[in-house]
Structure formats: C-alpha cells, structure tokens
C-alpha cells in the first residue's frame, strides 16, 4: 500500500469513528428508553400513520408539515407497527447524515490539505450541540432535525453555484428549498435574508442572470399558495393572516424560558467560534469565499436580539432561530481550533525539536478541547429536562388495545399521546395536541365512580386504560402491570 492509499484509508477510518461518536452521543437518551422521548415525536407519528390510513386532516396546522408526515407514512408502509421501536434510531441516523453533509461542504469549500482536518473537527463540534424538550434539537426526530441535512445542502449548493456560476447547483438548491416548504417551511424562511445578503457580494452575476434568478420567486409563490390551501383562506385575508402568523410573540412556546446561549453549545465551542470568525475576517485571500459562515450567525444573532428587545420574533420563532444560530457554529469552531493548533505548533517548532512530542502536545490540546465541549452535554435545567412518555408496560397494554374494535379510550393524557400510533385507537385526550385533555385529567383525579362514569358517558369512551387498579364495577379485560376495563 502506498502512502496515498494509506492516507485515504486513515481518513475513512477517522470519519467512521466520528460518525460512531455522533451516533452514540445523539442516541444516548435512548440507552434506557427505546421509545420516542418527546410529545412532538408522538404527535408527528400520529399524523404519519393518519396519512397512511387516509385519516389525515389537511386543513389543520399539521398540514403545513405534510412532507415530514409523508416520510413517516412511507416508513410505516415499510416497517408497519415496528416503526415505533425503530424510531429511537432516527434522530442519531439523521444527525450522522447531517454531519456528513457538513463535512462535505467544508471539505469541498476549503479544497486543500487542511480541509479534511477542519471538516473532521467540525463533525465533532457538531456532535456537541445540545438538545432539550423546549427547543428540540438533535435528540428528537421532528421536522426540525429532519430538515438539518437539507438546510446545509441547499445553502452549500446555492453558495457553490454562485461562486462557480453553476446553474445546475443553484437549481438543485431551489428544488430542495421548495421541498422543505412543504416539510418545515421555517427551515427555508430563516435562510432567505442570509442568502440575499450573500448574493449582494456577487451582484454582477445576479444582474447578468436576473431572469434565471427570478425563478426563486417560486419560493414565496409556492409558500403562499400552500398556506392558502392548507388554512382554507380567501385571497382577501391571505396576506394579513400570514403576516400575523409569522409574528411569534413571547409565550409562543409551551414553556417560555430566557435561554442562555451555553444551554445549546459549550463555552469552549463559542470561544473557538469567536477565534474562527476572526481567522476568516482577517484572511483577505479567503474572506469572500468563507463569507457565508459569517453572514449566517450574524443575521440570526440580530433576529435573537430583536426578540430580546421587543418580545416578538418575526418570520421564525426565537427558539428555532437560536438553534439555527448554533448549528453553523461548529464550522467556525473548527476554523478557530485549526488556527489555534497551527499557531501553537509553529510556536512549539521554535522550542522543541522532537516531532513526536509536538504532535503529542497537539493531541492533548484537542482532547482537552473536546472534553470540555462534551462535559455538560447531558446537563439540562429541570424545567426542560427529558421525560418518559411511556414505559414498556404501557407499550404492551397499548398493543393489546390494537386487538379490540375501534373505540374511544380513556387513558392518562401522557400515555394517550402514544395511543393512536401503537393501537390505532382514539384517546379521549392527549397532552396539548388532541382531544379533551382536561376531561381525562379530571377522570383520573376523582375517586368517585359515579363522576368517572359521567365523564366516560360524555366522552363516549368504551374502555379505560389505567396504571392503577380502579374498583368501579367495570369488566377487567387486561391485567399485566396495567389494567384495561370495558365500560359496562
């Protein structure tokens, strides 16, 4: 094996090791829980199964993410009810896909011997991005995390296409953006000002090909028509309704917190991102080439500051802007770490003659950086800590419900959130998303069988699923760590 082949093999091994780390880190919440960890995940699973079963409500807000639900429907066709158990792996798989796209972008962009090292370090920094139940993120498989690889891909294709004046790349970027409009529209909307500002630095090409670039008007046209159809709006109120819907005021999120930046990315990651920003800005030869990596975080930082000052986030929710801001930082952190390593190595050359010792010091530095990058990875405030939606005994009870005739089932709202994807039965109410949550809560709070019976009658419920035994003269049909009653 010659040196070139050996070097290629080493690079592949390093990429594979990086992917294994990313998969393990993102999968870590599922080491002790094989089921989806977030209410949003169960809600989207419900919508995906509804779409496959022909029960999908196109006129609801969920219809705005039909592309994601179509993807889940396809998975359900392929895997059936086993999708519930496969779902645990999807966040980690998509995190790996995203990191590969990120790697490809940097590797292609730098296009020299240093490109591989910077791209590899960016993968590790990407793995260190944190998640929580308020902002979502890499731990969960939702339209947001599904969109991440496509975001990096369309911005890469757009910027590369403009730099090389390659219309095929630009058209591919447009195609991905239109696809995302039907999947997770804000994953396109957030980038529009970024791409406009970037394009102004290539104004001559835009002027020359203005007819070609007018194709990008398809994005607002398609977005408007899609929103009109899903919401069932008349043209007379379309623009005012949409503009109102795109003002995300404080309190938009179920849990509204003043989130510190270190909640999503490590302090050491920010330090190297700051160094990387300086490295790019002071590099006159490469500044324009790497400009997109600077424009992206600055635009989002301005949006975040506007929200902090006005309590309103325009076009994209504050929580999403915060995550879009963070996902670009691994590139800047990688630039910063590379510049730091290079500077320290050049300094060591003057002090130490032994090459192996110099390399050992650099490796220790890298280990030190990533240790602190991942040190608080699992640390989440109590208000937005991970929770368990269902336990194995809930899963088996819900599977039993799938053998019964189609009915309305009374269950704890948390467990009920997983009911339709597993059993195809309709719950009285889930947390936040479906039905009469308050009725279900009142049912389990009262000990009076007469009141329980009245609630069941009002909700037309035929069965009760309970984690505790209920002595109300109903027919017990399931008794295996949980209890299912047929209401007489």
What average pLDDT does this structure show over 368-373? 88
* pLDDT band at residue 1 using 50, 70 and 90 as cut-offs: very low
Pairing of strands 426-427, 475-479: unpaired
Lowest mean pLDDT: which of 150-154, 210-214, 352-356?
352-356
SS3 426: strand
Q: What is the model's pLDDT at position 4?
A: 65
Q: How far is CA 218 from the centre of its chain?
A: 25
Write the pLDDT tens digit of every residue in 163-185.
989 999 999 999 999 999 999 99
Share of the chain above pLDDT 90, in %: 45
Q: What average pLDDT does range 340-344 have in this prediction?
A: 88
Task: Report the distance separating Cα 67 and Cα 64, nearest Å.
Answer: 8
The residues, ordered by sequence, that sit 6+ positions from 404 with a Cβ below 8 Å of its Cβ are: 425, 463
DSSP string, 136-202: B-TTS-SHHHHHHHHHHHHHHHHHHHHHHT-HHHHHHHHHHHHHHHTT-THHHHTTHHHHHHHHHTT
Looking at the predicted structure, is the pLDDT value of residue 281 above 80? yes
How high is the pLDDT of residue 326?
A: 93
pLDDT at 437: 84
Q: Alpha-carbon torsion 336, 153, 325, 30, what sign?
A: negative
Q: Which of 46-50, 293-297, 384-388, 404-408 has the lowest mean pLDDT?
A: 384-388
For residue 257, name the pLDDT band (cuts at 50, 70, 90): low
Which of the pair, 346 or 198, is modelled with greater confidence? 198
**Lowest-confidence region among 31-45, 105-119, 183-197:** 105-119
Task: Provide the greatest CA pair distance for the chain.
Answer: 87
Q: Sheet holding 408-410: strands in order across?
A: 426-427, 408-410, 463-466, 483-486, 475-479
Residue range 425-448: mean pLDDT, rounded: 86
Give the per-residue pLDDT at 151.
95
The yes-or-no verdict on residue 256 having pLDDT over 80 is no
Calculate the average pLDDT of the chain: 87
pLDDT surpasses 90 at 56: no
Q: CA separation (Å) from 412 to 424, 447, 475? A: 16, 15, 19
Q: What's the pLDDT band for 401 if we cut at 50, 70, 90?
A: very high
Domain boundaries, the chain: 3-384, 392-486
End-to-end alpha-carbon separation of the chain, Å?
77
């Amino acid at each position: 094996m010659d040196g070139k082949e050996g070097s290629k093999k080493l690079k592949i091994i390093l990429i594979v090791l990086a992917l294994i780390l990313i998969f393990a880190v993102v999968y870590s919440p599922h080491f002790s829980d094989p089921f989806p960890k977030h209410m949003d995940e169960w809600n989207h699973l419900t919508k995906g199964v509804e779409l496959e079963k022909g029960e999908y409500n196109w006129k609801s807000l969920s219809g705005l993410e039909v592309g994601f639900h179509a993807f889940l429907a396809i998975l359900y066709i392929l895997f059936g009810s086993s999708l519930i158990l496969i779902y645990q792996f999807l966040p980690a798989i998509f995190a790996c896909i995203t990191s590969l796209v990120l790697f490809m972008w940097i590797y292609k962009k730098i296009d020299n011997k240093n490109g591989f090292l910077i791209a590899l370090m960016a993968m590790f920094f990407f793995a260190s991005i944190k998640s929580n139940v308020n902002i979502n993120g890499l731990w969960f498989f939702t339209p947001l995390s599904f969109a991440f690889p496509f975001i990096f891909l369309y911005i890469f294709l757009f910027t590369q296409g403009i730099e090389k004046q390659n219309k095929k790349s630009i058209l591919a970027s447009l195609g991905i953006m239109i696809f995302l409009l039907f999947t997770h529209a804000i994953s396109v909307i957030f980038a529009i000002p970024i791409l406009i500002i970037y394009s102004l630095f290539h104004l001559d090409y835009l002027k020359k090909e203005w007819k070609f670039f007018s194709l990008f008007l398809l994005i607002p046209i398609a977005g408007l028509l899609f929103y009109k159809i899903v919401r069932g709006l008349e043209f007379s109120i379309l623009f005012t309704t949409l503009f109102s819907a795109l003002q995300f005021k404080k309190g938009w999120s179920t849990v509204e917190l003043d989130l510190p930046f270190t909640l999503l990315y490590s302090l050491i990651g920010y330090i190297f991102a700051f160094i990387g920003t300086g490295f790019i800005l002071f590099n006159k030869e490469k500044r324009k080439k790497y400009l997109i990596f600077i424009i992206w975080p600055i635009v989002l930082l301005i949006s975040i500051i506007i929200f902090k000052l006005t309590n309103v986030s325009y076009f994209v929710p504050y929580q999403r802007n915060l995550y879009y801001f963070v996902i670009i930082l691994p590139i800047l952190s990688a630039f910063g770490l590379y510049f730091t390593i290079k500077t320290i190595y050049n300094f060591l050359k003057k002090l130490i003659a032994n090459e192996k010792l110099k390399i050992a010091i650099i490796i220790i530095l890298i280990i030190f950086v990533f240790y602190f990058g991942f040190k608080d990875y699992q640390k989440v405030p109590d208000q937005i800590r991970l929770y368990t939606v269902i336990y194995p005994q809930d899963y088996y009870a819900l599977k039993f419900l799938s053998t019964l005739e189609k009915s309305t089932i009374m269950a704890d709202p948390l467990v009920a959130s997983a009911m339709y994807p597993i059993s195809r039965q309709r719950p009285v109410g889930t947390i936040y998303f479906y039905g009469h949550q308050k009725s279900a809560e009142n049912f389990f709070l009262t000990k009076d069988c007469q009141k329980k019976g009245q609630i069941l009658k009002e909700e037309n419920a035929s069965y009760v699923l309970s984690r505790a035994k209920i002595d109300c003269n109903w027919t017990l049909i399931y008794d295996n760590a949980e209890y299912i009653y047929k209401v007489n």
